[in-house]
Structure 1
Amino acid sequence: MAALVMGQSAPAEALRASSESIGITARDPIPAEWKNLTSLRVLPERPRQNNDVRILAHCPVAANHAVVGSTAFTLKGSRRLYREVGAGLSDRGLARRSVSISYYALLGHHEVHMKCVKVTIDQKTRFRKIRVISRCSVPLLVRRFRIAQFFA
């Protein structure tokens, strides 16, 4: 182990050494391998009909947009069974979005799919070029609406 700096304890030195071994520096606290991971989380995981869910997404840094879709996000009166919503990404590849689950959504198991895409636009012709960078999906269970949940 390296010599201890004055005023630094042994656990702090061990923590610094272990963080350097996985690629974390003081300037950039996120390891380089983690920047290329794709992850998706939907909270709560077992929502009821007529609830809102929060979508937390992480895409690789190369992507600039995330498209999240599911059969649980259908709208009232719409004939479409599958609905996609977009979420813009920050510089670090993070996004959050709130989506409503309709009162008329089908009960049971649904899949939530996410595509991380790189969108480039030709300014002269206004043509968009969309390239899929990565994909991810998570399960979602929609439960029956109960009025008693508001009075408990």
Structure 2
Amino acid sequence: MISLTINGKAHQLDIDPETPLLWVLRDELHMTGTKLGCGMSLCGACTVHMDGTPVRACSLPVSAVAGTNIQTIETINSPAFQAVQKAWRELDVVQCGYCQSGQIMSATALLQTNSKPTDEQIDAAMSGNLCRCATYHRIRSAIHQASDQLGAKAK
């Protein structure tokens, strides 16, 4: 039996401890906002937060997250997330949209720890997230816009 806290809710699961977190989220708990991209932690589509840090759920065994707090795109609602989501819409970041939950989770984590990132810091934080539609310039612009919005709220 594995005990998990996901989106603030405790779960007891009788599951193989080596099962990737992604499959627990999608197949066992029916949280389908986190996507499978590559299955090897290379594309970032499966990004979730573990104790506030972005991690790849596709290759992370569920046993490694026991005792941590996992947050998925379904319930994240921090000021940083709200600013990112608003900027994403205003700048029309999304094309196909498949990578976007992972992109948004990584961008939110960045802004929660660095409210005014440089281009280089954005590129480093987002480097593990691939976008096959190549909207990288819009993603970076949206992160800057979200940062500006967060800074305006703080004043």
TM range (shorter): under 0.3
- Per the normalisation by structure 1, the TM-score is 0.22
- Per the normalisation by structure 2, the TM-score is 0.22
Higher percent of residues as strand? 1
Higher percent of residues as helix? 2
